């Protein structure tokens, strides 16, 4: 029987156990790259990618878009004064402006309205984390997540009142109100404010607390930059509270500083707009309240149709074509080098230890 002292005297070893994995005796396969295998691969990739890229470009070009930048639009009440300057002086003051534009071609099919921002970094780490997912599920509590700081509480009369919804994302909710007027039809374009959010978000990630919304949120303060309470965002009760689709769309943060988010859909069941938006003159009316001058950003409204692959995105088609062309050029170049510089079968057979290297 080995004593404790004898066990301590046994030398320890760092040698791995004698297994196929630790001793690196597992079978392995390593491809041998030859001209016969590499060149056909280049040609196949080139021949496959170029038609795919052309198809993607075709579908992307079939999408029609109209972009209206309204960052510097002038107030309808104070001619020559920008709305951006008015709300910079007094953020609580309302400012209305309008922009006239012309659709050069018919926008047939489903038409969507987006708002776009530039130089807005929704992908910042602290910004992305600044939310309370339990709260957004309707589980209201006096204690909110520390990730929401400094947009977690409001101090009133020496009392800390929790904010709902808390966090920087909700606090910076896009607040401009956009509408379209059709000159040829002499009426507003009917817009739908529901059906713009992902069903998975609305049905799973965002829930209202049970009971009357106003009573449930009575103990909570609205975000600092909001002008309306959470239960007043929409006149439709089903599109209010945490179920408000404008809020849900905004809470899905963008990956890049220049982005667009779905704002409205044209109601094609209304007379005059069943086939889409026809070419002609339109007016974009804006209730201007969202400041962007502080971070040197811009705002724009985008009207767009869709295709089989979604919205307009020529980058993917161009990328496929470029990669396909590069593979074809490399394949041709390597084939020429292989034909001119490779040895014939006879020369390869006659190679012996005394053959000079060339």
What phi and psi, each to the nearest 5 degrees, are found at residue 215?
-70, -40
pLDDT at 346: 64
Tell which wins on pLDDT, 8 or 25: 25
pLDDT tens sequence across 101-123: 999 999 999 999 999 999 999 99
Do residues 240 and 258 lie in contact, with contact meaning Cβ atoms separated by under 8 Å? no
The encoded tokens of residue 272 equal 């005059």
Residue count of the chain: 358
Model confidence, pTM: 0.81
Q: Which residue from 87, 103, 72, 86 is spatially nearest to 283, judged by alpha carbons?
A: 103
Assess whether the previous peptide bond of 165 is cis (omega < 30° from 0).
Answer: yes
pLDDT tens sequence across 46-58: 999 999 999 999 9
pLDDT tens sequence across 289-345: 999 999 999 999 999 999 888 888 899 999 999 999 999 999 999 999 888 887 665
Tell which wins on pLDDT, 10 or 97: 97
d(CA 61, CA 48): 21
**pLDDT(350) > 80:** no
d(CA 85, CA 291): 9
Q: In what order do the strands lie in the sheet with 112-117?
A: 65-69, 299-304, 112-117, 259-266, 191-192
**Rounded mean pLDDT of the chain?**
90
pLDDT at 355: 62
Do residues 242 and 165 lie in contact, with contact meaning Cβ atoms separated by under 8 Å? yes
Tell me the average pLDDT across 207-234.
Answer: 92
pLDDT at 336: 92
pLDDT tens sequence across 19-43: 888 888 888 888 888 888 889 999 9
């Amino acid at each position: 029987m080995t004593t404790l002292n004898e066990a301590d005297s046994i030398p320890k070893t760092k040698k791995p156990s004698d297994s196929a994995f630790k001793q690196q005796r597992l079978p392995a396969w390593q491809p041998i790259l030859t001209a016969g295998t590499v060149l056909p691969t280049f040609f196949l990739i080139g021949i496959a990618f170029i038609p795919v890229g052309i198809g993607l470009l075709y579908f992307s070009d079939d999408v029609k878009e109209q972009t209206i930048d309204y960052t510097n639009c002038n107030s309808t009440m104070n001619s020559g004064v920008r709305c951006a300057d008015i709300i910079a002086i007094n953020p609580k003051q309302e400012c209305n402006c309008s922009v006239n534009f012309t659709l050069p071609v018919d926008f047939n099919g489903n038409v969507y309205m987006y708002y776009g921002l530039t130089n807005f970094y929704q992908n910042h780490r602290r910004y992305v984390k600044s939310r309370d997912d339990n709260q957004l599920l309707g589980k209201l509590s006096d204690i909110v997540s520390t990730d929401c700081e400094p947009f977690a509480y409001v101090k009133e009369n020496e009392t800390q009142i929790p904010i709902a919804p808390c966090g920087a994302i909700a606090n910076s909710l896009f607040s401009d109100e956009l509408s379209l007027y059709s000159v040829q039809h002499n009426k507003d374009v009917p817009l739908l404010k529901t059906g713009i959010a992902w069903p998975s978000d609305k049905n799973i990630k965002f829930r209202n607390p049970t009971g009357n919304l106003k009573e449930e949120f009575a103990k909570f303060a609205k975000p600092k930059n909001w002008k309306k309470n959470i239960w007043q965002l929409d006149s439709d009760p089903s599109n209010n509270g945490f179920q408000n689709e404008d809020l849900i769309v905004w809470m899905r943060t963008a990956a890049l500083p220049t982005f667009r988010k779905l704002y409205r859909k044209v109601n094609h069941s209304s007379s005059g707009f069943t086939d889409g938006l026809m070419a002609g003159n339109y007016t974009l009316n804006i209730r201007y309240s969202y400041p962007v001058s502080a971070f040197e950003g811009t705002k724009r409204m985008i009207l767009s149709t869709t295709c089989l692959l979604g919205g307009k995105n020529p980058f993917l088609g161009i990328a496929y074509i470029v990669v396909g062309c590069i593979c074809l050029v490399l394949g041709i170049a390597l084939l020429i080098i292989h034909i001119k510089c490779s040895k014939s079968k006879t020369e390869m057979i006659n190679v012996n230890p005394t053959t000079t290297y060339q």
